[in-house]
Amino acid sequence: MNVENFGASERLVNAAYVRQGAQGRRAHELCLRVLLEQGKCPENGWDESTIELFLHELAIMDSNNFLSNCGVGEREGRVASGLVARRHYRLIHGIGRSGDISAVQPKAAGSSLLNKLTNSIVLDIIKLAGVRTVTNCFVVPMATGMSLTLCFLTLRHKRPKAKYIIWPRIDQKSCFKSMITAGFEPVVIENVLEGDELRTDVKAVEAKIQDLGAENVLCVHSTTSCFAPRVPDRLEELAVICSNYDIPHIVNNAYGVQSSRCMHLIQQGARVGRIDAFIQSLDKNFMVPVGGAVIAGFNDSFIQDISKMYPAMSLENLDKHSDMAVTQLGSMLFTRQVSGARVVPLGSLQIVNNYTFKGFMSHTNNYPCAYLNAASAVGMKKQDVDLFLKRLDKCMKTFRKEKSNGKDVPEMDNCTKHTSAGETED
């Protein structure tokens, strides 16, 4: 309810009561404002009704919930079951964009906002938990082991010669598998017994680096949280070695966020030496269902590189071409709430994981003309097609009129009249 609607309500219900109701709403909205302005974990946990209100507000910002939406793409937030839609508060578009998990999804402003806030709150919590100088983090919809894999895969491009990962032994399957899955050879460093504790053999780590040659080592992969009698790795010493030999350092902090000891070790390691990223499980630290992790670090650009590596796993390598003159028709359709129409211009260059593609999105280097794609997908209705054609027709008319008036619009002469060029979305 906004001011006008409260005003209109006063014609139906006593104005004093309506004002009280409006006050009640303001209290919820104050919580939202503080969160939006500060991006920090609220000091007092929100009432569930505030959370639900916020989620509904976010959901109606997504294009799949626009009342007059006309989706003609292959991904338009269609779900078969109402149960699934409700369970997700109708946030159906997911997060991120093809090619970058932390990028904004243009069809889904609400989901994008939720994602940014989530990462910002988690960053605040990591700081509060003891890693004060952390600069960047993001939540990934993958288990901790797979998130470690993602970090190793990101490092591969920076260290093309490296084959080995130095790994002080911790007997947990998924962190071991994470190195194999990424295609590297784990070099196991046995721990030393000190009293009844198993501790990192720092000398053995350094000797192994010298033996293998630093450039052949992808990274040191250390662990904080673990079961006794093993104790957390000597992160400070390992971080110093990594710094001295210029070797990346990835820390498995699986259930360490809830432990001030583990968080302190990470903070100290980063202070005296090198830590590139530290990974923690969502379920073990935040009491949510299994299947998520947080990747955090001290260097913005490295953490961003990892988030851009994400599509290597999701198999969605397409990315948006950025700079082109021919955006008009695409954006005309978009502002008329036609989402998903894909406008493919001529010869746009796109770099995906260091491979340069010419004519990207048209599946070939030199397709003869620019064109527009609309998908016919499961869940689309005949009315959707009719509405799309009606809006497209209108856009084309405006478009031609502006062109004949000499306005600066894309060249269409080498195409049939049903093709054009403009901005794409997915």
Binding site for ligand PLP (CB under 6 A): 143-145, 170, 172, 174-175, 223, 226, 252, 254-255, 281, 284
Query: Closest separation between CB of residue 41 and ligand PLP, Å?
Result: 23
Query: Closest separation between CB of residue 134 and ligand PLP, Å?
Result: 20
State yes or no: 98 annotated in a binding site.
yes
Amino acid identity at 239: A
State yes or no: 401 annotated in a binding site.
yes
Nearer residue to ligand PLP within complex by CB, 144 or 362:
144
Nearer residue to ligand PLP within complex by CB, 84 or 288:
288
- Cβ-proximal residue to ligand PLP, closest one: 145
**Other CB atoms within 10 Å distance of the CB of residue 78:** 16
**Residue 59 burial (C-beta neighbours within 10 Å; 0-12, 13-18, 19+):** buried
Q: Are 426 and 318 in contact (CB under 8 A)?
A: yes
Nearer residue to ligand PLP within complex by CB, 72 or 238:
238
State yes or no: 132 annotated in a binding site.
no
User: Which helix (H) or strand (E) segment is 55 a member of?
Assistant: helix 48-59
Query: Closest separation between CB of residue 260 and ligand PLP, Å?
Result: 18
Query: Closest separation between CB of residue 268 and ligand PLP, Å?
Result: 20
Residue 64 CA to residue 56 CA, distance in Å, equals 13
State yes or no: 271 annotated in a binding site.
yes
Residue 326 CA to residue 424 CA, distance in Å, equals 10
Nearer residue to ligand PLP within complex by CB, 155 or 293:
293
Strands 197-199 and 192-194: antiparallel
Query: Closest separation between CB of residue 140 and ligand PLP, Å?
Result: 11
Nearer residue to ligand PLP within complex by CB, 150 or 170:
170
State yes or no: 342 annotated in a binding site.
no
Nearer residue to ligand PLP within complex by CB, 233 or 384:
233
What string of DSSP letters covers 290-301?
SS-EEEEES-HH
User: 235-245 and 260-272 helices cross at what angle (nearest 10)?
Assistant: 30
Beta strands in 340-388 (DSSP E): 342-344, 350-352, 355-357, 371-373
Whole-number CA gyration radius for the chain: 26
| Helix/strand/coil for 61 | coil
Which residue ranges are tagged as binding site for substrate?
97-98, 105
Specify binding-site residues for pyridoxal 5'-phosphate: 75
Known binding residues for tRNA: 271, 336, 401
Report the binding-site residues.
75, 97-98, 105, 271, 336, 401
